[in-house]
Amino acid sequence: MKISYSPESIGDLVRAREFIAIKNPYAAQKMAASISKGISQLKTFPYLGVEVELAPNPEMIRDLIIGNYIVRYLVHSEQIYILRVWHHKEERL
């Protein structure tokens, strides 16, 4: 499985890391590594996350919980698209 990132998900990751790095650069690095490791598990286990029941196709749109973060992704054929990344307290759009 190949993993691709939407521009929004890249922005989400950059924003989260920059926000944390202001107070604790080490924590920002640790958070980024944790999310990266969790996402890489999707290569082997693409259906690891829970179905997003309100999605048009819940089996393909899933949420992976990594610590305090939610990674929303789409499973399509041999490709995984990371759609968004949120802290669990953030409002999801």
Asked whether residue 52 is assigned to any structural domain, the reply reads: yes
Given this model, what pLDDT does residue 88 score?
84
Given this model, what pLDDT does residue 93 score?
56
Range of the domain at 74: 2-87
Quote the number of domains for the chain. Answer: 1
Asked whether residue 37 is assigned to any structural domain, the reply reads: yes
Asked whether residue 92 is assigned to any structural domain, the reply reads: no
User: In the predicted model, is pLDDT for residue 29 greater than 60?
Assistant: yes
Alpha-carbon distance of 6 to 89, in angstroms, equals 21
As a whole number, the mean pLDDT across the chain is: 93
Given this model, what pLDDT does residue 75 score?
97
Q: Which of 5, 71, 66, 65 is nearest to 34 (CA)?
A: 66
Asked whether residue 12 is assigned to any structural domain, the reply reads: yes
Residue 6, class by beta-carbon neighbours within 10 Å (0-12 exposed, 13-18 middle, 19+ buried)? middle
Asked whether residue 93 is assigned to any structural domain, the reply reads: no
Given this model, what pLDDT does residue 92 score?
61
Q: What is the CATH number of the domain that holds 59?
A: 3.30.2310.20
What is the pLDDT averaged over residues 57-65? 94
